[in-house]
Structure 1
């Protein structure tokens, strides 16, 4: 019984935050589709590469985390994206502004450490 509850908890930990992060990645993806590559450049690699990396970290990888495919590896880009958002992009902002990025960072770090649980493609 406890193992089942733990696996349901891991599924919720994977699915809910990933679905929430997708809502941030979708507008960025739509920018790419429309050809608007204007975006911040927090790491100095250029606006377009930063936008593409943000889409990978906020849309592509969270979709794979939801289904539980290569979960630990797919949680790394969202964690890195949120680290950049919290520590670099919002560095000068108050904690309330960067708090959401830090919450996502901690959640994806937990997914990296705990894995996907039983209810995932990885465990099939």
Structure 2
């Protein structure tokens, strides 16, 4: 426990208050909620996701679990840098896979294409790109660097 207190104190000598603190609270809650929404279907369809990703089942389980547990930690502001880092690893992995696949940073807008994208399995929607993983990577990095703000459990416990 002392190690966690020391690490958080070193990362965040002061927790951001006022309007910026409230914005961090809202930002944390939205990002956490989004990751829970991303993690739940993955954990419920673990075999399918593992096969589609071409990744080992235990790795997919950890990734989806970190999205759910880390997302919950972000919402309440508990161990925020560790919650963010646990999910960030998955987002960086996703980015690496997308770079290897040669995906564009931003996909062409479906309206520019004249029709919706049709994937290899006939699925419709937007073409694949790095955009979502890149945005989530930046959001999680922001939370690691700026901290959870004064309106968090971290601030109550370690502030």
How far apart in 2 are the matches of 1:24 and 1:58?
A: 7
How far apart in 1 are the matches of 2:80 and 2:92?
A: 18
Structure 1 residues 76-120: Cα deviation after superposition (integer angstroms, max 9, x where no partner):
0111111111122x2222212111101000000110111111111
How far apart in 2 are the matches of 1:109 and 1:68?
A: 15
How far apart in 2 are the matches of 1:71 and 1:6?
A: 16
The runs of 5 or more residues in structure 1 that have no matched partner are none
How far apart in 1 are the matches of 2:20 and 2:34?
A: 21
Structure 1 residues 33-70: Cα deviation after superposition (integer angstroms, max 9, x where no partner):
xxx4650245xxxx211211211332111111111111
Residues 73 and 38 of structure 1: is their aligned pair in 2 closer, same or farther, counting only changes over 3 Å? closer
* 1:21 aligned residue: 35
TM-score by length of 1: 0.83
Q: How many pairs were matched up?
A: 115
SS at match of 1:122: helix
RMSD over equivalenced CA pairs, Å: 1.8
Please give the residue correspondences for 1:2-81 in structure 2 after superposition, counting only pairs within 5 Å: 3-32=17-46, 36=47, 39=50, 40-42=53-55, 47-81=56-90
TM-score by length of 2: 0.66
In our comparison, the structure showing a higher alpha carbon Rg is 2
